[in-house]
């Protein structure tokens, strides 16, 4: 069945970088868009952006431009979110979520989430 | 950006009650509206798409409706396992935007 499996929790210092992976199973990786969503402590869901898994073209929401980078390794059906120059306020659970039907649709399924903690 | 205003932010109800959550879009989004259920420590799960279509495998006590730019998620006969936070999300245009969430508690 379709599954998105994310990498484990990360503890980083301010200024460092982190790369979260989202390995996919059970479908053709390049046929569905991949999204990234953040949930900061005590907050709601925020959409970070999406990447076209066929062309590799990323779209990052304005609030996240500059330090948030999407990438792909189609040979292993995996999407990545890299966050550079980490700040304490980047502490959050990060989810990958596939477009339900190829492109421009609701999100289903979701990965289990990766907790990124930024602390000195 | 399209703003999604969701209410209430939290509610408490008895098992068996009917619960209603609303979401208002700041502009027309046709029926490009999804509802998600998010339980603590779990991945969010889609419940409703296209404003009123039930995702496969979701219990029929969940339903969605639309009136203009107002959208409603209804849980008929609330169950203990429905304890969660519920979010609406528009997928009409980018950036995708979520409502602020509604935390549902059981009395």
Give residue-wise pLDDT tens across range B14-66. 999 999 999 999 999 999 999 999 999 999 999 999 999 999 999 999 999 99
Joined together, the tokens standing for residue A1 give: 């069945």
Residue at token pair 């995996």: A78
- Testing the interface with B: which of A1, A95, A108 to mutate, by most B Cβ within 10 A? A108
Q: Please indicate whether, in this complex, the C-beta atoms of B46 and A108 are within 8 angstroms of each other.
A: yes
Alpha-carbon distance B40 to nearest alpha carbon in chain A (angstroms): 11
Q: Please indicate whether, in this complex, the C-beta atoms of A106 and B34 are within 8 angstroms of each other.
A: yes
d(CA B6, CA B75): 16
| DSSP-based three-state secondary structure for B9 | coil
Residue numbers of A between 65 and 94 with CB closer than 8 Å to B? none
In DSSP terms, A93 is beta-bridged to A39, A115
Written as tens digits, the pLDDT of chain A (120 aa) is: 999 999 999 999 999 999 999 999 999 999 999 999 999 999 999 999 999 999 999 999 999 999 999 999 999 999 999 999 999 999 999 999 999 887 778 999 999 999 999 999
Inter-residue contact A51 to A64 (CB < 8 Å): no
Alpha-carbon distance A97 to nearest alpha carbon in chain B (angstroms): 9
């Amino acid at each position: 069945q379709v599954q998105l499996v994310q990498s484990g929790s990360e503890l980083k210092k301010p200024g460092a970088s982190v790369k979260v992976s989202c390995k996919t199973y059970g479908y053709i990786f390049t046929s569905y868009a991949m999204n990234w969503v953040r949930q900061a402590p005590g907050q709601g869901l925020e959409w970070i952006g999406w990447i076209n898994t066929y062309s590799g073209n990323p779209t990052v929401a304005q609030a996240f431009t500059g330090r948030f980078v999407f990438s792909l390794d189609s040979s292993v059906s995996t999407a990545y979110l890299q966050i550079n120059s980490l700040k304490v306020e980047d502490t959050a659970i990060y989810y990958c979520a596939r477009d339900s039907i190829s492109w421009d649709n609701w999100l289903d399924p979701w990965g289990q989430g990766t907790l990124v903690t930024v602390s000195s | 950006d399209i703003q999604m205003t969701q209410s209430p932010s939290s509610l408490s109800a008895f098992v068996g009650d009917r619960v209603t959550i609303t979401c208002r879009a700041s502009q027309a989004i046709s029926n490009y509206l999804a509802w998600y259920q998010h339980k603590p420590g779990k991945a969010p799960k889609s419940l409703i798409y296209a404003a009123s279509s039930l995702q496969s495998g979701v219990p029929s006590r969940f339903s969605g409706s639309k009136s203009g730019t107002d959208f409603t998620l209804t849980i008929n006969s609330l169950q203990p396992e429905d304890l969660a936070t519920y979010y609406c999300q528009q997928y009409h245009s980018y950036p995708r935007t979520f409502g602020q969430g509604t935390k549902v508690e059981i009395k």
